[in-house]
Amino acid sequence: MSKRKIDTHQHFLPKLYVDAVGLDLLNAAMPGGVAPTWSEEAAIAMMDENGIDEGILSISSGPALPDAATLLRKCNDLAADLRSRFNGRFGSFASLPLPDVDAALKEVGYCLDELKVDGFILFTNYDGKYLGDDHFTPLLEELDRRGAVVFIHPNQPPHDIPSVAPASVLEYPFETTRTATSLIMSGAISRYRNVRFILSHAGGTLPFLVPRLALSISMMPSVAERVGDPLAAVRSFYFDTALSAGNPALASLAQVADPERILFGTDFPFAPTSAIRRFGSVLDGIEIPGIEMTKVYGENAARLLGR
């Protein structure tokens, strides 16, 4: 078993992506109004400083993409090139041009058969459809057939954002909770058992809401029949620690998660190096039953990703 420290929640912002999307739109999505810059050198430096051996790269959520299939193919090819040039330092969760399911299925085949990616990043909703929606059935069937890893990352909700805080502060954790609940209540988690779903940011608010979710499901007979044991459904997810290093979040997560399915994540470069350093010091000192940092830092990801 690998003893490497593996960051399963690490983003990259290649120039071709930034140019296509536009810096103004990327800036608008950030709490401070300024999107981070990214370079392979900065990513390697961050990992070296924090003792991280490998980062699994993905394109984070953003605005609707022009000619998404072409642009994301280029991003997926670029991630594969980085993996080749920096042997052992980078992996890849490839992007899919959803909500176009046919185009996404084509990209799944290319990425698994040609690029040998580690898995795929999916966002919590597309045009207001969450991942348990029937729209995504053909894609989930293929990902299940392939035994794929699916990294679920929050994005903008399909409603106006209250002025309380930027979307990334409150709406993103709620988005993760919504799409996880969609997968559970639709029965998708039960049907597609070969898909390994990773929830970002310690599952958003899902761990805290598990008792409420389980009670609600028990009051809906048809849903309860689809779901089976809600606690087992929640336990089937993987969870990462990105932006969640602290006793409140991790103690809640430890109550519901399989200890073999908790993964380390940084959220670089959207989390700056200073924050990653601070979160790392907290994780190093965590003493919570059910949280085994040797497993979290690398063993669980190594098993999941076949390292």
- Give the H or E element holding residue 130: strand 129-130
8 Å CB contact between 266 and 10: yes
pLDDT reported for residue 28: 65
Residue whose tokens read 């052992």: 88
pLDDT reported for residue 29: 65
pLDDT reported for residue 46: 97
Angstrom distance (rounded) from CA 304 to CA 118: 9
Angstrom distance (rounded) from CA 139 to CA 100: 10
Residue 302 DSSP symbol: H
| HSE, side-chain direction, 13 A CA sphere, residue 122 | 33
Q: Which CATH architecture has domain 6-305?
A: Alpha-Beta Barrel (3.20)
pLDDT reported for residue 162: 87
8 Å CB contact between 175 and 32: no
- Give the H or E element holding residue 11: strand 6-11
pLDDT reported for residue 156: 87
Give the 3-state secondary structure of residue 82: helix
pLDDT reported for residue 30: 67
Please count the other Cβ atoms lying within 10 Å of the Cβ belonging to residue 50: 17
Give the 3-state secondary structure of residue 16: helix
Residues of the chain with pLDDT under 70: 1-2, 28-31
| Predicted TM-score of the model (pTM) | 0.95
DSSP per-residue codes, 200-264: SGGGTTHHHHHHHHHHHHHT-HHHHHHH--HHHHHHTSEEE-TT--SHHHHHHHHHHS-GGGEE-
